[in-house]
Structure 1
Amino acid sequence: MAKKLKGVVQINDLPDSILIHILSFLSTKVAAQTSILSSRWRNLFTLVPNLNFELVEEYPSWWKGRKSLNSSTIKSFRCFVDRVLFFHDTIDLDNFLLKFRLKRGKTVDSSSAYRWISGALERGVKHLDFNISFDKFTLPDDLFTCRTLVTLKLDIGLVLNVPEDIHFPNLKTLHLKSVKFFDDNSVKSLFSDCCSLEGVVIEKCSFKYVQSFSISHPWLKSLAIIHSCDSAHCWLVIDTPYLSHFKYIGHVVAGYSLKNQESLVSADIQFLFEDKDLQADARHATSIFRQIYNVRSLVMSPYSLELLSSSEPLPAFPTLVELEIPYNKVEQLNSMDNGLEALLPHCPELQKLAFPQDVLNSLSEELPSCLICKVKVIEISNFKYDQDCIRKAKFILENGGALEKLTILASDVWREYKLKISQVLFAYPRKSKECFILIV
């Protein structure tokens, strides 16, 4: 037997609490494999407060070098989850992640899934992430009255019929993905008794059976609704007096009602382009901007800007400090008579501005005051080495009296011209002596 070196601590000399802490950073499969090391390790994995089970079929069966998961692999996974839960002794479970995604036609039986969720709930789980493909499934009633849950993430692709007696006293974060809401009442019930709720993400969910998607909560701070589907007929109603961050990425819906938004600090409104009636979309879309007039930071897609610039009168943003219009090479816009230059006069306190070069059209002689006196940082993306782009950059350098930094993000096809862009702009006179130019 090898002798122990003085001053060297072997892993077996560590107390159980430290070993369990180390195991908590491993996947549950690897942690369970340590049970064969010695009698000391045999039951340590059963005390780990984090359980992580993943079986994902990421490639089609015809993919070279990849084989589709067979029934024996699926059965083995199911038995492994059952065994771990059977032997797991922790009654204070921190995290439970179950990701079981297979190709169409394959799924886990609903009784196993029901048993796994119930097992996590019985162990006082705090953070539950359930990502699984089903044909038919009903969530346990106990899930909707769990007192220990702090985070709940469901990605199940099923209709979510929320019971009326829902009660999540400690739930702070709710993330729903690929969920189909049963009706208007299910939406209201979901937020009716979550007194600690602070953050909500609704991602790729179906509003097919919902006429009014209504979120009313006195303490909610962050809300994101991303890529919802079947929502053209739906109204979005939000009453959240403490909401500070709001994100909406999706198609224009039938109407927007945002109440009590005095605390809103930042908003990300990215309407997705549709080949529909621009004026009809503009009427609905503009209403949401009029209701978030007091934000300090705003992100909007080029199509959002197009809808906004086509409305009369344009909403004012008297407290806006940061404005970002991200470049989207996929999005094809209609011709804008008034682009970014129409919006700038309505943002008198603007200090930071980021936009793709094609949303800035005509360069008016009547300059907005923010561009002359306030804007300190400007970033122009999709920049090309052509006369129009160079003219726009020169215009900004010539008139930006408070400008401290101008960043040029060259278009992919014009990257090799960065040196020429630099030579032209570095040699051009600047109104602000503090202005630094960066070409990327």
Structure 2
Amino acid sequence: MILRKQGVVNEDMISKLSEALLLQILSCLPIKVFIATSVLSKRWRTLWKLVPKLEFESTNHQKFSENVGRFLLSHKAPVLESLHLKFFHNCRAIDIGLWAGIAFARNLREFVLDHRLEAKIKFPSSLFSFNNTLVTLKLKNSVLVDVQSPVCMKSLRTLHLHCVDFGNNASFRNIISGCPNLENLVMCRDYPKNDLTFFIVAPSLKRLSIKDYTGVVKSGGYTINAPSLQYLRIRGISHSERCFIENAPELVEANISNVSPVINERFLISLKSAKRLLLDLSPLEVMFPTGAIFYRLVYLEMYTHKLEWWNLLALMLDSSPKLQALKLIDQSQKSDKDCVVGGKWNQPKDVPECLLSHLETFVWTIYNWDREEEIEVATYILRNARRLKNATISTRPIQYKELSKLEERYKMLMELDGVVRASNSCHLDNTIEPVWDTYGRSVHPTCELGSLNRTDINNVNL
């Protein structure tokens, strides 16, 4: 193709690109756009039929089903990398089965079905066994899965089930058992009508993420048996559900939040092989196992907005002899945290082994300089961590109405900076966050403790 403009001949450099690169470019365009390229030249006439990634989004039912079917029948790519179907109107299960069947005949590797309507659509159960190449399957929103017999998806590695409903426990069990090479499972539930217990028995599973909004569930939960599991994320399991981890000896990282009511001794013991833990739990609701030791734990991240969180910290420090990095985080930007009023830090009788021999990094984000228990925790760690190399403590921003506390904050942080540390090589970086006005705008820049003096405090302009 040659482009002519004002008597100047410009050679079309795009058409000189390799077919693989052109197809990659077309895959990034909407279907209507890359079909339109067929009029550019003879080379482009059938190129659109080889695009390996297809995404159909329907906002209007009229002629949509007919157009999708016609397009897929015209498609000639030997390998279809992905097919995404997103619906904002009612769609028939028979149509989905037909389209998916055509795509599977093209050696489909990724299939995504997103049905964004209140009325459920039943996913054709035959599709669970109608392929040998599918690597990724993602079912989202108003999709009903009812599988009454075992399936066979030997190639499947990734399965996402986002707000999907299941006919019964057997439906989920039949799917998982039919995926012997499954490595990544993501589950999200949003107020289901039935109470199910999900038995996740997956020998090859490496990553598992569970996120629940099931506040109305009366029973059910999860039982996990995954001997190859390396990464686990669980968030938001309700008070009445259960969660058991029967087998996870290869666990490397676990992120556990908002599940305190179901955390028991057995659950925490199942995390003992983890090297990294991220915990957002209430120590008043957690049953901490006696004598539990996290021998492999080197990184611990904890949130500090739950009642008496420091007691859980003390237990974790005492149970993690090889801990090298500790990070504390507060989600709240406010100083009047009702959930932690009236607490008292009781330091351990004996200094934990990790402070004596291994802890090298200590980070505290949104440190509340005006809370006595937080001052005591920070002081305790600085005074007892003999191998500490770096400590970074940042305070929460002061609100406009709290401007009178600015000088007090500076004084308290200077006292913390003056704490005699167990480690002579420790560098303490205290960061003062900016002052915020009533509209949430910063009126004083962030600065390090050493760069803010009394003149700076007196000259803050609002």
* TM-score bracket for this pair, using the shorter chain length: 0.7 to 0.9
Which SS does the other structure have where 2:121 is aligned?
coil
Q: Show CA shifts across 1:13-36 (max 9, x none).
A: 334333223212333333223233
Is 1:184 the counterpart of 2:169 in the alignment? yes
Q: Percent identity?
A: 26
- Asked whether the 8 Å contact 1:118–1:140 carries over to 2, the reply is no
In the alignment of these two chains, the number of paired residues is 404
Give secondary structure in 1 for the equivalent of 2:264: helix
> CA deviation digits over 1:375-409, x for unaligned, max 9?
11122123123252444333322222111222223
Cα distance change on mapping 1:227 and 1:327 into 2, 3 Å: farther
Q: Which amino acid aligns with 1:307?
A: E
Residue 79 (structure 1) shift = 5.5
2:268 equivalent in structure 1: 289
Q: Distance in 1 between matches of 2:20 and 2:148?
A: 40
**Which AA in structure 2 matches 1:430?**
R
- Indicate if the aligned counterparts of 1:339 and 1:360 stay in contact, CA closer than 8 A: no
In structure 1, how many angstroms separate the alpha carbons of the residues matched to 2:235 and 2:128? 28
Aligned to 1:350: 323
The answer as to 2:425 corresponding to 1:437 is no
Kindly tell me: are residues 326 and 46 of structure 1, through their superposed partners in 2, closer, same or farther at Cα, counting changes over 3 Å?
A: farther
SS in structure 1 at match of 2:62:
helix
AA at the equivalent of 2:99: W
Give the letter aligned to residue 317 of structure 1: F
Q: Within 5 Å, which residues of 2 pair with 1:10-409?
A: 10-55=13-58, 73-75=60-62, 78=65, 80-100=67-87, 102=88, 106-134=89-117, 135-145=119-129, 146-204=131-189, 209-227=194-212, 229=214, 231-251=217-237, 252-272=239-259, 281=261, 284-303=263-282, 305-308=283-286, 311=288, 313=290, 315-326=292-303, 333-334=306-307, 338-356=311-329, 361-364=345-348, 366-386=350-370, 388=372, 389-409=374-394
Inter-partner Cα distance in structure 2 for 1:423 and 1:4:
72
Displacement, 1:155? Answer: 0.4
* Partners of 1:236 and 1:290 in 2: CA distance: 16
Distance 1:160 1:360, change over 3 A: farther
Shift of 1:261: 1.9
Kindly tell me: are residues 39 and 138 of structure 1, through their superposed partners in 2, closer, same or farther at Cα, counting changes over 3 Å? same
TM-score, length basis structure 2: 0.77
Deviation at 1:263, TM superposition (A): 1.5
Q: Are the aligned partners of 2:265 and 2:289 in contact in 1 as well (CA < 8 Å)? A: no
Q: Aligned-pair distance for 1:299?
A: 1.4
Give the whole-Å Cα distance in 1 for the aligned partners of 2:121 and 2:168: 18
Does the CA-based 8 Å contact 2:345-2:376 persist in structure 1?
no
Shift in CA distance, 228/166, structure 1 to aligned 2, threshold 3 Å: farther
Call closer, same or farther: CA 1:413–1:227 in 2, change over 3 Å: farther
Amino acid of the structure 1 residue aligned with 2:324: Q
Q: Distance in 2 between matches of 1:360 and 1:25?
A: 57
CA shift at 1:50, angstroms? 0.5
> 2 CA distance for matches of 1:327 and 1:204?
27
* Alpha-carbon RMSD: 3.1
Unaligned runs of 5+ in 2: 331-339, 432-462
